[in-house]
Structure 1
Amino acid sequence: MTVGTPAPGTVTFGDDPDLLARVLRVYRPECRYLRSAAVTVAGQPRDGGTAGVCGEFHIPRSWYIDDTGHFNAVEFNLCYNQMIYFLLAKSVREKAVRPFDTWSMDDFWARQLPDMFIVDFRSTFRRRMRGRRFWGQLDLVGVTERDGGNGPLVLLRTLCRFGEEETPACRGEVRIAVRKGPPSPR
């Protein structure tokens, strides 16, 4: 995938294999599809800026079904999750995106599974994609905070796409809710 020239004021954080390995530890080894990732931040998403992650994926074989011959919604969701976790972990580590710039890495690890929820998930497949080696891109395009009834929440609006060629084969729009209070007990 070709990435254009970054806008002025854009900060890029290159591949971080150690952080990626730690982020993916919550997955079974055969489901760690994200192989490398770089994060770019251009302003604050809560103020009209964006933060994004571009990644390279490899799915050697399906772990839950006989080979379908194509990238499907289950794999889309898993790859999306791995990118958003990495984007948020890198944002915490680099103090790059508000409100996660006030979190410690321990805060992130405590919240990674119990306090991050997909609240709206939409995916569109425009053409067949084999889905063995491919790229993915996720952009965090909006951040809002509110009281969720069970405590304060950070709501994230994201756009993502996956492809094997320059043009994406599929796209998605996903909203995430993150609990902002003390981490949930596991």
Structure 2
Amino acid sequence: MTSQQTLPADLSSLEADKLLLDRVLEPYKTNCRYLKTARVEQGDCLTLHATFEIPESCYIAATGHFNSVEFNICYNQMAYYLIAKAAQESLIEPFDSWTMADYWQRQLPNVLIADFQSKFRRPMQGAAFSGTLTFSKITQRSGDRPLVIIETVCGYSDGAGGHADGAVKLVITNPPSPR
């Protein structure tokens, strides 16, 4: 069994993570910043463990359940954070050669969803729940149109047995040249 390292380990790291989380969520409207905590685990794959709160939907009257739009918004917030953390801490290739300026320049215009699959196994409440995101495979393509392709799996659950999961392929266009 491979040992896993959980980041961060001390109080100053926790504060730095809060600052990073706030910066990652800055493009979102205040009432749409659903990601509340994020903890990264590095083992065979890079995994984010997160908590969320959706006090009220940002786009529709209360449905009483976690739905596909909220699934996608929460996924985006986890993915943005995990990429930012990977760049900040030089956790995995290719992000170990990125600067934070490289990340901030690309966060919105260059991180794209190429394929999105979600499954709602048991109805979930959206008020408070947890989620995970794992980067299961990362491929770099060079040439005229360099890309970073990230295959991911994610899941959400609430305290009442609700569960949803998915598989998403991200593509990062215009990645910085390796240093």
Q: TM-score, normalised by structure 1?
A: 0.86
Distance 1:152 1:133 in 2: 39
**Given the alignment, which residue of 166, 170, 174 partners 1:176?**
170
Q: Which residue of 2 aligns with 1:163?
A: 157
CA gap 1:182/1:142 in 2 versus in 1, 3 angstroms: closer
- Alpha-carbon contact 2:121-2:163 (below 8 Å) kept: yes
Structure 2: segments with no counterpart, 5+ residues: 9-13
Aligned length: 170
Question: Which has the higher mean CA deviation after the structures are superposed, 160-169 or 14-23?
Answer: 160-169
Matches within 5 A, 1:25-174: 25-42=26-43, 49-147=44-142, 151-165=145-159, 169-174=163-168
User: How far is the alpha carbon of 1:131 from its aligned partner?
Assistant: 1.0
CA gap 1:35/1:181 in 2 versus in 1, 3 angstroms: closer
Distance 1:27 1:150 in 2: 32
User: How far is the alpha carbon of 1:11 from its aligned partner?
Assistant: 2.1
- Alpha-carbon contact 2:90-2:96 (below 8 Å) kept: yes
- Alpha-carbon contact 2:98-2:176 (below 8 Å) kept: no
Q: Deviation per CA, 1:70-94: give whole Å up to 9, x if none.
A: 0000000000000011101000010
- Alpha-carbon contact 2:122-2:161 (below 8 Å) kept: no
Q: Which residue of 2 aligns with 1:18?
A: 19
Distance 1:170 1:57 in 2: 14
Distance 1:141 1:80 in 2: 15
Q: Deviation per CA, 1:119-142: give whole Å up to 9, x if none.
A: 000000011111110000001100
- Alpha-carbon contact 1:151-1:181 (below 8 Å) kept: no
Distance 1:53 1:30 in 2: 22
Alpha-carbon RMSD: 1.9
User: How far is the alpha carbon of 1:150 from its aligned partner?
Assistant: 6.0
Distance 1:50 1:182 in 2: 22
Q: Which residue of 2 aligns with 1:3?
A: none
Distance 2:31 2:144 in 1: 35
- Alpha-carbon contact 1:138-1:159 (below 8 Å) kept: yes
User: How far is the alpha carbon of 1:166 from its aligned partner?
Assistant: 8.1
Identical-residue share of aligned pairs (%): 43
Distance 1:82 1:94 in 2: 18
